Amino acid sequence: MTGEGRRPWVVGISGASGTPYALAAIGALLDGGEEVDLVVSRAARLTILDETGISFRDSHWREDLAALLDWKPSDPRLDAVRYWTAGDFAAGPSSGSYPARGMLVIPATAAAVAGISIGLSKDLLQRAASVNLKERRPLVLVVREAPLASTTLEQLLTLSREGAVILPASPGFYAGGQSVQRLVDFVAGKALDALGVEHSLLRRWNGQLGEQRG
Protein backbone atom coordinates (compact mmCIF):
# COMPACT_ATOMS: atom_id res chain seq x y z
CA MET A 1 0.00 0.00 0.00
CA THR A 2 3.00 2.29 -0.21
CA GLY A 3 3.56 2.14 -3.96
CA GLU A 4 3.58 4.98 -6.45
CA GLY A 5 -0.13 4.60 -7.18
CA ARG A 6 -1.19 5.24 -3.60
CA ARG A 7 -3.60 8.18 -3.15
CA PRO A 8 -4.75 8.32 0.47
CA TRP A 9 -7.18 10.41 2.43
CA VAL A 10 -5.38 12.20 5.25
CA VAL A 11 -7.26 11.87 8.55
CA GLY A 12 -6.23 14.16 11.39
CA ILE A 13 -7.43 13.61 14.95
CA SER A 14 -7.09 16.66 17.19
CA GLY A 15 -7.64 16.93 20.93
CA ALA A 16 -11.36 17.68 21.08
CA SER A 17 -13.74 15.20 22.62
CA GLY A 18 -15.04 12.92 19.89
CA THR A 19 -12.78 9.89 19.48
CA PRO A 20 -15.78 7.77 18.33
CA TYR A 21 -16.37 10.11 15.37
CA ALA A 22 -12.81 9.59 14.15
CA LEU A 23 -12.96 5.83 14.60
CA ALA A 24 -16.27 5.54 12.74
CA ALA A 25 -14.87 7.54 9.82
CA ILE A 26 -11.59 5.61 9.68
CA GLY A 27 -13.37 2.28 9.88
CA ALA A 28 -15.76 3.22 7.07
CA LEU A 29 -12.92 4.44 4.85
CA LEU A 30 -10.99 1.20 5.32
CA ASP A 31 -14.12 -0.92 4.88
CA GLY A 32 -14.68 0.87 1.59
CA GLY A 33 -11.20 0.03 0.32
CA GLU A 34 -9.86 3.57 0.76
CA GLU A 35 -6.27 4.33 1.80
CA VAL A 36 -5.67 6.46 4.90
CA ASP A 37 -2.76 8.55 6.13
CA LEU A 38 -3.29 9.05 9.86
CA VAL A 39 -2.05 11.96 12.01
CA VAL A 40 -2.85 12.06 15.72
CA SER A 41 -2.03 15.27 17.59
CA ARG A 42 -0.36 15.14 20.98
CA ALA A 43 -3.47 16.53 22.66
CA ALA A 44 -5.58 13.88 20.93
CA ARG A 45 -3.62 11.13 22.67
CA LEU A 46 -4.82 12.42 26.04
CA THR A 47 -8.41 12.54 24.82
CA ILE A 48 -8.18 9.04 23.34
CA LEU A 49 -6.85 7.72 26.64
CA ASP A 50 -9.59 9.49 28.61
CA GLU A 51 -12.42 8.37 26.32
CA THR A 52 -11.30 4.80 25.58
CA GLY A 53 -8.71 3.80 28.18
CA ILE A 54 -6.26 3.02 25.36
CA SER A 55 -2.86 4.71 25.26
CA PHE A 56 -2.08 5.53 21.62
CA ARG A 57 1.67 5.23 20.95
CA ASP A 58 3.73 6.05 17.87
CA SER A 59 5.77 2.89 18.22
CA HIS A 60 2.71 0.62 18.43
CA TRP A 61 0.24 2.59 16.36
CA ARG A 62 -1.05 -0.43 14.41
CA GLU A 63 -1.84 -2.43 17.54
CA ASP A 64 -3.37 0.60 19.24
CA LEU A 65 -5.48 1.55 16.22
CA ALA A 66 -6.67 -2.05 15.93
CA ALA A 67 -7.68 -2.00 19.59
CA LEU A 68 -9.58 1.25 19.10
CA LEU A 69 -11.41 -0.19 16.09
CA ASP A 70 -11.94 -3.53 17.86
CA TRP A 71 -10.04 -5.29 15.07
CA LYS A 72 -7.11 -7.70 15.20
CA PRO A 73 -3.68 -6.12 14.49
CA SER A 74 -3.29 -8.65 11.65
CA ASP A 75 -6.46 -7.39 9.94
CA PRO A 76 -5.48 -6.76 6.29
CA ARG A 77 -7.59 -3.60 6.20
CA LEU A 78 -4.94 -1.94 8.37
CA ASP A 79 -2.40 -2.41 5.58
CA ALA A 80 -4.08 0.57 3.90
CA VAL A 81 -3.06 2.88 6.77
CA ARG A 82 0.16 4.87 6.90
CA TYR A 83 0.86 6.60 10.18
CA TRP A 84 2.78 9.88 10.49
CA THR A 85 3.86 11.35 13.82
CA ALA A 86 2.50 14.79 14.63
CA GLY A 87 5.99 16.29 14.81
CA ASP A 88 7.19 14.94 11.46
CA PHE A 89 7.36 17.99 9.20
CA ALA A 90 9.15 15.95 6.54
CA ALA A 91 6.12 13.63 6.26
CA GLY A 92 4.43 13.14 2.92
CA PRO A 93 1.24 15.11 3.74
CA SER A 94 3.35 18.19 4.57
CA SER A 95 4.03 18.72 0.86
CA GLY A 96 1.70 19.78 -1.91
CA SER A 97 3.38 17.32 -4.27
CA TYR A 98 2.25 14.40 -2.09
CA PRO A 99 -0.70 12.74 -3.88
CA ALA A 100 -3.33 13.02 -1.14
CA ARG A 101 -6.95 13.02 -2.21
CA GLY A 102 -8.00 15.39 0.55
CA MET A 103 -8.17 15.65 4.32
CA LEU A 104 -10.61 15.12 7.16
CA VAL A 105 -9.98 16.63 10.60
CA ILE A 106 -12.26 14.76 12.99
CA PRO A 107 -12.78 16.06 15.58
CA ALA A 108 -11.40 19.57 15.11
CA THR A 109 -10.61 21.75 18.12
CA ALA A 110 -10.88 25.53 18.15
CA ALA A 111 -7.08 25.60 18.47
CA ALA A 112 -6.68 23.50 15.32
CA VAL A 113 -9.15 25.73 13.49
CA ALA A 114 -7.17 28.81 14.54
CA GLY A 115 -3.85 27.32 13.47
CA ILE A 116 -5.16 26.20 10.08
CA SER A 117 -6.91 29.49 9.38
CA ILE A 118 -3.72 31.54 9.83
CA GLY A 119 -1.32 28.97 8.39
CA LEU A 120 0.44 28.47 11.71
CA SER A 121 1.51 24.87 10.96
CA LYS A 122 2.13 24.16 14.65
CA ASP A 123 2.21 20.43 13.90
CA LEU A 124 1.75 18.06 10.97
CA LEU A 125 -2.03 18.09 11.33
CA GLN A 126 -2.20 21.86 10.82
CA ARG A 127 0.44 21.79 8.08
CA ALA A 128 -1.33 19.04 6.13
CA ALA A 129 -4.64 20.90 6.36
CA SER A 130 -3.04 24.09 5.08
CA VAL A 131 -1.49 22.13 2.20
CA ASN A 132 -4.87 20.71 1.20
CA LEU A 133 -6.34 24.21 1.24
CA LYS A 134 -3.67 25.70 -1.00
CA GLU A 135 -3.84 22.74 -3.38
CA ARG A 136 -7.64 23.14 -3.58
CA ARG A 137 -8.24 19.61 -2.37
CA PRO A 138 -11.20 18.66 -0.18
CA LEU A 139 -10.79 19.67 3.46
CA VAL A 140 -13.53 18.81 5.96
CA LEU A 141 -13.37 20.08 9.53
CA VAL A 142 -15.68 18.33 12.00
CA VAL A 143 -15.82 21.01 14.67
CA ARG A 144 -16.54 19.73 18.18
CA GLU A 145 -16.68 22.82 20.37
CA ALA A 146 -19.63 24.45 22.16
CA PRO A 147 -20.28 27.28 22.41
CA LEU A 148 -18.17 28.89 19.71
CA ALA A 149 -16.33 32.15 20.41
CA SER A 150 -16.60 35.01 17.93
CA THR A 151 -12.95 34.59 16.96
CA THR A 152 -13.52 30.92 16.13
CA LEU A 153 -16.60 31.79 14.08
CA GLU A 154 -14.56 34.32 12.12
CA GLN A 155 -11.81 31.76 11.54
CA LEU A 156 -14.35 29.19 10.36
CA LEU A 157 -15.81 31.73 7.95
CA THR A 158 -12.33 32.40 6.58
CA LEU A 159 -11.73 28.69 6.07
CA SER A 160 -15.12 28.25 4.43
CA ARG A 161 -14.34 31.05 1.98
CA GLU A 162 -11.05 29.33 1.18
CA GLY A 163 -12.89 26.15 0.26
CA ALA A 164 -13.02 24.07 3.44
CA VAL A 165 -16.24 22.35 4.48
CA ILE A 166 -17.21 23.25 8.04
CA LEU A 167 -19.18 20.35 9.49
CA PRO A 168 -20.22 20.71 13.14
CA ALA A 169 -20.61 17.45 15.02
CA SER A 170 -24.41 17.73 14.99
CA PRO A 171 -26.12 14.35 14.80
CA GLY A 172 -29.51 14.05 13.11
CA PHE A 173 -32.01 12.34 15.39
CA TYR A 174 -34.38 11.74 12.48
CA ALA A 175 -31.96 9.00 11.35
CA GLY A 176 -33.38 6.57 13.88
CA GLY A 177 -30.95 7.56 16.60
CA GLN A 178 -31.96 5.13 19.33
CA SER A 179 -28.31 4.47 20.18
CA VAL A 180 -25.21 6.59 20.69
CA GLN A 181 -23.39 4.68 17.94
CA ARG A 182 -26.16 5.51 15.47
CA LEU A 183 -25.67 9.21 16.24
CA VAL A 184 -21.88 8.90 15.97
CA ASP A 185 -22.21 7.15 12.62
CA PHE A 186 -24.50 9.90 11.36
CA VAL A 187 -21.85 12.58 11.93
CA ALA A 188 -19.05 10.42 10.50
CA GLY A 189 -21.25 9.60 7.51
CA LYS A 190 -21.97 13.26 6.81
CA ALA A 191 -18.22 13.94 6.92
CA LEU A 192 -17.57 11.21 4.36
CA ASP A 193 -20.41 12.58 2.22
CA ALA A 194 -18.59 15.91 2.18
CA LEU A 195 -15.47 14.13 0.91
CA GLY A 196 -17.47 12.32 -1.75
CA VAL A 197 -16.71 8.88 -0.29
CA GLU A 198 -19.31 6.11 -0.52
CA HIS A 199 -20.25 4.43 2.75
CA SER A 200 -23.10 2.72 4.58
CA LEU A 201 -22.88 4.52 7.92
CA LEU A 202 -26.33 6.06 7.75
CA ARG A 203 -29.73 5.42 6.24
CA ARG A 204 -30.82 8.26 4.04
CA TRP A 205 -34.01 10.28 3.99
CA ASN A 206 -36.49 8.73 1.60
CA GLY A 207 -39.34 11.19 1.88
CA GLN A 208 -41.54 8.88 3.91
CA LEU A 209 -42.63 10.13 7.32
CA GLY A 210 -42.91 7.67 10.16
CA GLU A 211 -40.04 5.44 8.99
CA GLN A 212 -36.53 5.20 10.37
CA ARG A 213 -34.24 6.87 7.92
CA GLY A 214 -30.91 8.64 7.62
Enumerate the known binding-site residues. 15-17, 41, 144, 174, 190
Strand 102-108 relative to strand 139-143, pairing: parallel
Strand 102-108 relative to strand 9-13, pairing: parallel
* Annotated binding residues for dimethylallyl phosphate: 174, 190
One-letter amino acid at 68 equals: L
* 205 secondary structure, DSSP code: P
In terms of Cβ atoms closer than 10 Å to its own Cβ (0-12, 13-18, 19+), residue 141 is buried
Report CA dihedral (149, 151, 154, 159) to the nearest 10 degrees.
Answer: -100
Which ranges constitute the DSSP H helices of the chain? 19-31, 42-52, 61-69, 110-117, 124-134, 150-161, 180-195
* For the chain, counts of helices (H) and of strands (E): 7, 6
Report CA dihedral (202, 52, 142, 93) to the nearest 10 degrees.
Answer: -110
* Annotated binding residues for FMN: 15-17, 41, 144
